[in-house]
Amino acid sequence: MDALLDAALKARENAYAPYSGFKVGAALLARDGSIYTGCNVENASYGLTVCAERNAVFSGVARGAINFEKIVVAADGDLTPPCGMCLQVLREFGVKTVVLVNLERKWRSYTLDELLPVSFGPENL
């Protein structure tokens, strides 16, 4: 868990958040033990902003990973859960556990089902 917390907090440092000032980092654990990271990247056209969680997933997929177990999401202040779009993407790739952490390393773990109780996945096709 410490390696994932460290990776998420480090990824947060690279966030590009000139508009909101709200930096987020994520570290995603693949089933093979690999860790993929991402940070939020804002855009003047807010709809083009990409969250840290999706960036971590897309980074893993770009490297050939499609099966993930757990993600750690790091942000300042209160523990900040992923948005609905990110939760759905996490669901697509099998993430079961979402851990939220702040800069003081206070963290809490949730199941994806707690955060997204009614969802749509590949098995629904």
- Cβ of 46: how many Cβ atoms within 10 Å? 9
Identify the pLDDT of residue 123: 79
- The CATH number for 2-120, chosen from 3.30.470.20, 3.40.50.970, 2.60.40.290, 3.40.140.10, is 3.40.140.10
Alpha-carbon separation of residue 86 from 57, 73, 100, 124 (angstroms)? 9, 11, 14, 18
Q: How confident is the model at residue 121 (pLDDT cuts 50, 70, 90)?
A: confident
What DSSP line would sit under 38-81, residue for residue? Answer: EE-B--SSGGG-B-HHHHHHHHHHHTT---EEEEEEEESSS--P
| Residues designated catalytic | 53
In angstroms, the first-to-last Cα distance of the chain is: 34
Identify the pLDDT of residue 125: 75
Whether residue 124 is predicted with pLDDT greater than 80 in this model: the reply is: no
Distance of CA 116 to the CA centre of its chain: 14
| Residue-range domain boundaries for the chain | 2-120
Q: φ, ψ for residue 60 (rounded to 5)?
A: -65, -45
Single out the residue of 37, 33, 30 nearest to residue 5, CA to CA: 37
Q: Greater confidence, 40 or 122?
A: 40
Q: Greater confidence, 120 or 110?
A: 110
The pLDDT tens digits of the residues spanning 27-83 come to 999 999 999 999 999 999 999 999 999 999 999 999 999 999 999 999 999 999 999
